[in-house]
Amino acid sequence: MRKEGLGSIYWERFRQNPLSLAGAIVVGGMLIMALLAPWISPYPPDKINLKEILQPPSKKHLLGTDELGRDLLSRIIWGSRVSLSVGFVAVGISCTIGLLLGLISGYFGGKVDNLIMRIVDIMLCFPTFFLILAIIAFTKPSITNIMVIIGLTSWMGVARLVRAEVLSVKERDFVLAALSIGCSTPRILFRHILPNVLSPVWVAATLGVAGAILVESSLSFLGLGVQPPTPSWGAIITAGKDNLEIAWWLTLFPGLAILITVLGYNLLGEGLRDALDPRLILERRR
């Protein structure tokens, strides 16, 4: 009887969880919305119409308008581009740093391991959000700076996760065989060890996107993130806060966009974690 491939097992385990599938659908929908924003947005996101200030949801403006008469639905659609861009770039930076330091720390051990882990411990002593606020205080708020700062302050968890995986993988027979035939250290790290530690990194990256979106929205809400007139979900909520009693839609709809997006990524991450769990896969293949 032919054994199932790992890809088939991963997919079967993933699709058995309806919440994971729901998360994947939400994530896919948000990606499509961000990519197609110029074509599906009913109005330009920065188009000001002083005759339609704070209009409630209607056929003309499905989600209403803001304090400058701009269409809220259009701004939410374009804001998805900002949030997802920050999430992907920030997580890309943090995962790259964490992956490299985790590989080096776990493989070489000794003083190198102690040095990297002490740096990780020091970084973890600082509350991440307040550390980001402190850094932004000395830099100009912009989408590029937000991406870089979030990425540079959120790599520690990935580094510790990869280090733990490397400590286990480097003792396996295929790594010892590569050492015995004289393979170089870079080849062993990137050809033999790296592919075997990526599964938990994918899970961490998925959950990290949700965290980065929350941080960006919080910074924009405080006026320290993406600057106007660029649409951002957090900035839209700030405007809505000032008009909460007469324009509830300015707070409700962008808040729902953040909630649904973050929940989608968390559900997707949980599903990937269950699907990629090697212990469950071994049980299935027995």
Residue 138 neighbours by CB distance under 10 Å: 6
Q: What global pTM score does this model have?
A: 0.87
Mean per-residue pLDDT, 128-150: 83
Residue 96 neighbours by CB distance under 10 Å: 13
Contact assessment for residue 171 and residue 230, using Cβ atoms and an 8 Å cutoff:
no
Q: Binning pLDDT at 50, 70 and 90, where does residue 140 land?
A: confident
In tens, the pLDDT along 101-113 reads 999 999 898 899 9
Burial class (CB within 10 angstroms; exposed 0-12, middle 13-18, buried 19+) of 90: buried
Contact assessment for residue 76 and residue 64, using Cβ atoms and an 8 Å cutoff:
no
Please say if the pLDDT value at position 17 is more than 60. yes
pLDDT confidence of residue 279: 53
Q: Please state, for a pLDDT cut of 90, what percent of the chain lies above it.
A: 35
Please tell me the distance from the alpha carbon of residue 266 to that of residue 203, in angstroms, as a whole number.
Answer: 9
Please tell me the distance from the alpha carbon of residue 92 to that of residue 256, in angstroms, as a whole number.
Answer: 26
Please say if the pLDDT value at position 62 is more than 50. yes
Please tell me the distance from the alpha carbon of residue 270 to that of residue 214, in angstroms, as a whole number.
Answer: 18
pLDDT confidence of residue 48: 87
Mean per-residue pLDDT, 65-85: 91
Contact assessment for residue 103 and residue 165, using Cβ atoms and an 8 Å cutoff:
no
Q: Tokens standing for 161? A: 């996760």
> Which has more pLDDT, 195 or 3?
195
CA-nearest of 19, 60, 23, 68 to 206 is 23
Cα-Cα-Cα-Cα dihedral sign, residues 117, 120, 122, 127:
negative
Q: Binning pLDDT at 50, 70 and 90, where does residue 5 land?
A: low
Q: Is 65 helix (H, G, I), strand (E, B) or coil?
A: strand
Contact assessment for residue 214 and residue 83, using Cβ atoms and an 8 Å cutoff:
no
Q: Binning pLDDT at 50, 70 and 90, where does residue 282 land?
A: very low
Which domains are present in the chain? 6-45+63-285 (1.10.3720.10)
Please say if the pLDDT value at position 122 is more than 50. yes
- The residues with which 65 forms a beta bridge, in sequence order, are 71
- The residues with which 71 forms a beta bridge, in sequence order, are 65
Mean per-residue pLDDT, 226-232: 82
pLDDT confidence of residue 10: 67
> Which has more pLDDT, 163 or 3?
163
Please say if the pLDDT value at position 284 is more than 70. no
Mean pLDDT: which of 165-174, 178-187, 256-265, 275-284 is highest? 256-265
Contact assessment for residue 47 and residue 54, using Cβ atoms and an 8 Å cutoff:
no
Q: Tokens standing for 152? A: 């540079």
What is the C-alpha end-to-end distance of the chain, expressed in Å? 13
In tens, the pLDDT along 193-212 reads 888 888 888 889 999 999 99
